Structure 1
Amino acid sequence: MQVQRRTHYTNDSRCSCSMPSAVTVPKHVAARLVNLLSQPAHLSSAARAQMAASSWAGTGMTQQDFMHRDECLVVDQSDTIVGTSNKHDCHRFTPAQPRGLLHRAFSVFLFSPDGKKLLLQQRAASKVTFPSVWTNTCCSHPLAGQEPNEVDAPEKIADGSVPGVKAAALRKLAHELGIPPEQVPPASFTFLTRLHYCASDTHTYGPAAEWGEHEIDYILFVRPTQPVTLAPNPDEVDDVRYVDRGELAAMMDPKSGLRWSPWFRILAERFLDAWWQDLDATLDPESKHRDYGTIHHIL
């Protein structure tokens, strides 16, 4: 049985959501809860491949189309899957659903082969949530109905292997940045820990923002042995930049005028420097930073 330690942080000025006393799952979400740990047996291999490809590959669909099509994994505060819902509903903040729907996500931090530089991206201006902000290499969601399967069983989280989250990361690194999967094989990823945070996009939509993020975010580090190929997708990414620790600090200085995703700012201010300053030790299989049981609740 997986034992989850819960670390809580409060009074973060950038998090506008408070911890709810209980999780209420909407009926339409609970009704979608099926055995997500295996693909539906009635689907042919061709149909499964179509489901996977249809999420993003060459469809000509808009960001809003993706928001309604892709099915996120809705979870409770212990990261137990309670259903699925599309990205639109998960990220919609309304009076009836003021924190959206808590769902799984991941954040990839891709370093240069020597470990001295981190690849950042600036999200495209066309993104529905947090457009034009700078953030880590790649951020997205494991989805239901994908092939390979992106849903991790509790035992795969407990042992740190998380093959589903890694499959989702490979899919999105190729989609957003054009990185060939063979350059970042699953074995090259290190799962460190999980972050639970909530943030409404008030900069884009004002004080009564109707869009935001409420996620349990799986943190993945990867340091390829060779430089990766980059071909950013303009529908997803406006800019990319490799930075060292000093350059990152300068970019994050308020005087720079740059805006940052709330999840990256939390990670950069609380965790990243300790992980990065001795990257070899962090990536070691026995690293003290590999904390699969803890969910850092920063609300």
Structure 2
Amino acid sequence: MSIVTTAQAVPSRLFAIYAALFNSENGEVRDRIEAWATPPSLSGRGSDDDGESTTTLFSNTLAEARRIGLVEEVDNKLRLTADARSGGKRREDSEAYFLAYMRRTLFDPGRAAETQQAGFMFALSWFLSSSPLRPMSFSEPPQNTLKAQIGDHASKTELTSLNRYQNFLYWARYLGFATIVGGANDPEDVTSRRVIPDPVKAIESALPTIFAEASDLAIEQFMTRLAAIFPVFETGSVRYDYESLRLTPVVDGDKRLSIATSLALQRLVDRQRLTMTGVADAASRILDFGSREGRVSRIMLREAA
């Protein structure tokens, strides 16, 4: 099981458990945490709007929280693990610590494998190789597309049903890799929703680490450091594994950045967070914007607005 395959393990439910335990260093009994983490509208009804029991909703979410290393049980009480707490104590900072822990766990290949989450990065590598210029449907599972791209290896993404696909999309958005649009007038109308590969928030979150030692980097240095944080980007180990399985390799794949990466970098330039330049005779990467191309050899960090 994983955050993709466990239907109940959406970001809001895992965070509800995390937040409920954040201020309780000595832990809390399970029943009390269940009362805090279960929405009041459901706690007295016995089932959610889909007919699922609230006990199952909580127990399956808690099982995933344990599997991913967020929660442990000591002396019949649930509490956050020391790694998940990361020294945080102020309640208003709890989501920042939760997001940092999830990124730290999901994007470390060793930790992801240990906690049964490796499928998420593989699915995200596929997602980021897709074009944001052709938004995907939120309500149509991608099995046929995956089968056409990587054949029998499609199951490695764990996106084998609509529910799993949508769980993946919720996490991709939460972690800064996707935008979901549509359904504003009717949230229940999932057929009108579209999904766009959009890693700008994830890249921006990594900039302090990437530029920790210098504010001006060659493009290959930049991509290597980005991929060390998020191995789903070009030059990253998981992205390489995905690309190696493609039935039709990308032309100039070792020189070209995907449209999703190219547009995200350009948006950060437009926001005055980065500057991209081309230097004659220097090693460069092709920026793919769909209708046009560009080249970048160096990336510079600008001061935050």
TM-score (structure 2 length as normaliser): 0.28
More helix by share: 2
Structure (1/2) with the larger strand percentage: 1
User: Please, what TM-score do these two structures have when normalized by structure 1?
Assistant: 0.28
Structure with the bigger RCO (C-alpha within 8 Å, sep 6+) is 1
